[in-house]
Amino acid sequence: MSNESMATYFVFVDFFDIAEFQNFYALVFFLIYISGVMGNLLIILTVILNIHLHIPMYFFLLNLSIVDLGFLTVTIPKVIANSLMRTKIIFYSHCVAQMFSFVLFAASDFFLLTVMAYDRYVAICYPLQYETLMDRHRCIQMASCAWIGGILTAILHTGATFANTFCSNVINQFFCEIPQVLRLSCSDMYLIEIGAIFFSASLYFACFVFIVNSYGQIFKAVVRISSIQARQKAFSTCLPHLIVVSMFFIFGLFTYFRPINKTPSQMDLVASIAYCVVPPCMNPVIYSMRNKDIKRGLWKLIVWKFFRGEKNPML
C-alpha cells in the first residue's frame, strides 16, 4: 500500500470474520448504545426538570451524564456502521477527530468524578459550610475546569500521537485508540506521546489518591454519625461514586499500561469495551438504583409524561 493511501485512511481489524457474527456484533453494540443513551438522557431530563435536584451534587451528575453521552457516541455508532456496511475503513481526519473527542470525554469524565468526590467530602465533613463552599458560582467554575482540562488533555495527546509518521495503517482495534495507533509509528516521535501518557497517568493517579483520601475522611465522618438512617443515606450517595471511580480508573490503567499485542485478540476487544463502553452505560444504573432522590425524580418525570394532569415535577 502506498504512503499516500496510508496517510489518507486507517483500517480496523475484524475481530469477527464471519458475516453472521458481524450482524450480531452490530446488534449487541446497538443495544448497548441505546441503553446507555436512554439511561443518561433520563438522568439529564430528571435533573433539569426537577427543581428539587438543582443542587451541586446533581449539577455535577448532569455534567457527568452529558460526558457519558459523548463518550458512547464517539465510538459505538462508527462500530455499528462499519459492521452493517462490511467496511473497516476510517479516514485520517475522522480518526483524528475520534481520538480527540474520545480523550476529551474520557479526561473530562475523570476530572468530574474528582470534583464530585470533593463535593461529597464538603457535604459530609463540613455540612454547615456546604452552601458557602459549594455555591452556584463555585460549582460552575469547577465543572468548567473539568471540561477545560479535558480539552487540553485531548489537544496534548491527539497532537503528540498524529505528529508521528506511520509505516502501516492497520489498527488492531475497533476505534482509534492511542496505544494501537502509536504501534503504527515508525519514527521516534512516538516517545513524545509516551511521555504525555505518563504525565497524564501521574495526574490521574494524583486525582485518584485525592478521591481515595476524600472518601477515607468521609467514611470516618460517617462512622461518627449517631443516626443509622443518616449514616445509610450518606453511604448511599458515596458508594455508587466510589464504584464508578474505581471501575473507570482500573479499566483505564489496564488499557493503557498493558503490553500491546502485535496481532488482534479478543482480549483487546474486551479490554476496550470495559474501558470505553461499560462505565458510561453503568453510571445511570449505579446512580439511579442507589439514589432515592433520582428514583423519585424519575418516577415524577414518568408520571408527568404519561399523565399530564399530574403536577409538573419542576414544582
Q: Note the pLDDT tens digit of each residue in 92-108.
A: 999 999 999 999 999 99
Give the lowest-confidence range in 54-58, 190-194, 253-257: 253-257
The DSSP call for residue 225 is: -
Question: In terms of Cα–Cα distance, which of 200, 194, 242, 195 is closest to 218?
Answer: 242
The pLDDT, as a whole number, for residue 301 is 63
pLDDT digits (tens, 9 = 90+) for 53-90: 888 888 998 999 999 999 899 989 988 888 888 888 89
DSSP string covering 153-178: HHHHHHHHHTTSPBS--EESSSS--H
Enclosing H/E stretch for 10:
strand 9-12
Q: Is 90 helix (H, G, I), strand (E, B) or coil?
A: strand
The pLDDT, as a whole number, for residue 4 is 39
Question: In terms of Cα–Cα distance, which of 237, 216, 209, 253 is closest to 116?
Answer: 237
Provide the strand spans (E) within 81-180: 89-91, 170-171
Residue 314: is its pLDDT beyond 60?
Answer: no
pLDDT digits (tens, 9 = 90+) for 222-236: 777 766 776 676 666
The pLDDT, as a whole number, for residue 149 is 94
Mean pLDDT estimate for the chain: 80
CA distance 27 to 302: 28
Give the lowest-confidence range in 19-23, 42-46, 78-82, 216-220: 19-23
Q: Is 2 helix (H, G, I), strand (E, B) or coil?
A: coil
Contact indicator for 208, 245 with CB cutoff of 8 Å: yes
Question: In terms of Cα–Cα distance, which of 187, 197, 175, 173 is closest to 253?
Answer: 197
88 or 145: which leads in pLDDT: 145
Number of other CB atoms surrounding residue 241 within 10 Å: 27
Contact indicator for 88, 9 with CB cutoff of 8 Å: no
What mean pLDDT comes out for the span 188-213? 84
Confidence of residue 154 (pLDDT cuts 50, 70, 90): very high
pTM of the model: 0.85
CA distance 186 to 165: 6
What mean pLDDT comes out for the span 242-265? 69
Angle at 125 between CA 120 and CA 131, to 5 degrees: 70
